[in-house]
Chain A
Amino acid sequence: MTSLATPEKMPMADAALKDGAAAADDGRRLGFALTMPAQVLVLFIAVFPLLMQLYISLTDWSPLDGIGWWQAYELWNGFANYTDLMADTRFWSALGRTALVMLICVPAEFLLGLGLAILFMDDFVGKRVFYSIMLVPMMVVPAVAGYMFFMLFQSGGPVNDILSGVTGMNVSIAWLSDPTTALIAVMIADIWQWTPLMFLILLAGLVGVPEDQVRAATLLGASWWQRFRTIVLPKMKTIIIIALAIRVIENFKIFDTLYIMTGGGPGVATETISVYIYKVTQQDLIWGYVAAIALVILISLSILVSLAISRMNKKKEA
């Protein structure tokens, strides 16, 4: 540029160039000023709470101490919360229970949702009505769903009545008072509420599978199962990953329905990680410790999900 715009020959051009640079600089500054509010907002919504959490997790701060959170450094205890966490058996069993619920609920929701979605690909009488009914559980407020299942699973409740009717015996299981059956009841409620979401996402995926490719496979002699495995599933891969990721993350945070049904009980039989955190926060009020738990979970869940997604993507490319 400078070789062309020598000062003697083209002073105007050079001046214009300088002006242009200044204008670009101004533009950048103006742009920064204009996006400032949004940037601050993002900072406060995402980054600030995270940093605050990290800070508190390194202290022994509790609201009962009578000092503001910003003064928590007075109660600095380094990584003590994290070492405590490693030895906290209640935390680990809550984590294990959460994983168990996830490993049963998410596959169950996936398979049920997929099965229903496949059925809904065909035409049948009353399809629209059934479609609307299918989506109702998803719209029920989780707290309401919690009360519904709380009442359904009472020992004199409808579930036992139906079981009595079917088996011809007098069934009176105290569902929510027994550690095993309480966990089962909680999982049934979750599956009831979240299968529709799976159904909805997977139906969208199924509709998007190119029909002519499925037909081409049929004409080449592929059976239903072969077509499903070699054409439909690969085409749905992305949407399946999304559906599973959403449900894994959401299911890990299972709380409201469960808390209303069992309160984490009997004992700690249905205490998942969210319930445990809630109890430590609200009952024990050791917030430094809570911050440490929450941070550990956030980081491990992020790593887990991103690993799973990248692995599935790699498989897809291979």
Chain B
Amino acid sequence: MNWEPPLFQDLHQIPREEHVFPGAPLCAGCGGLESLRLASKVLGPHVVYVNAAGCFTNLATFPFTPLDASWLYTTMGSAPAGAQGVRDALDVLIAKGRLPKEEDVTVVVLGGDGSTYDMALSSTSGAITRKLDFYYFCYDNEAYGNTGVQLSPSTPYGAKTTTSPCAVQRPVGATQEKKDIFEIWRAHNPPYVATVSPRFPLDLEEKFVRAANYRGPRLFLGFAACPTGWLFDPAHTPDVARLAVECGLWPLKEAVNGEVVHTHFPKLSPVEDYLKLQGRFRHLFEPIVQKEAIAHIQDRVNTYWERVKQTEQKS
């Protein structure tokens, strides 16, 4: 294992400088924005965010932006290709002496799960294969959020969305299993892949610092608790984000050059504690308790962590 002693052991070590300022037109309690704010504290201001269509597209609404970094909105399916064009052009201009080296910027793709898990997969796969030097930050709220919360390939089993409603024919809501984009990335052999949660800020900052040691494609999957889509009070975003990790549904991990290490071993509280907080799972509990569906979710969590314990031999 190449795990090193963490740099961040205390919240006071997190940089105080802000790069995501108040005034963003996103929903109250947006967990994705919280992750971005923390990430930007390590990424700094010398960044160009290459955005794919999604909730965060609203961040830069003419003539405002809450960022002190640059911004380029592309399309839903090709933000990594936009990153390719920007990175390549920066390299060429620096090599030809038309841009001073100190003017260089870090290229960061900013996309939601709808773009990341499906539409931009070709573009992403291409960028990783070409070893593009960029960060990919996905704010994962497990649905097409900006269009009003529809089923995405990231939507977990049992969640209700407007296109996977709890219905007589399909009482559990979504019957698919969440696509494992972490493993899809890892199969491309990039230097760094990680999941993060804003409720674990030290872990998050640590990972961004570690990723900076590598060149090439670096993925961050940010847990984005979504009050609007998941139907809970915005005040509960921290609880939802914390419980997602502690019940084992959102493992905190990283893969450095393909080798997976879990960075937090949760106490594995029952998944019900997490599910019950959110309206998108309410149909699993009332008017009748869908025991099989809940057990199915719990089984998958248990199986996952059994395997982790076997391979990483930690308790």
Do A and B assemble together? no
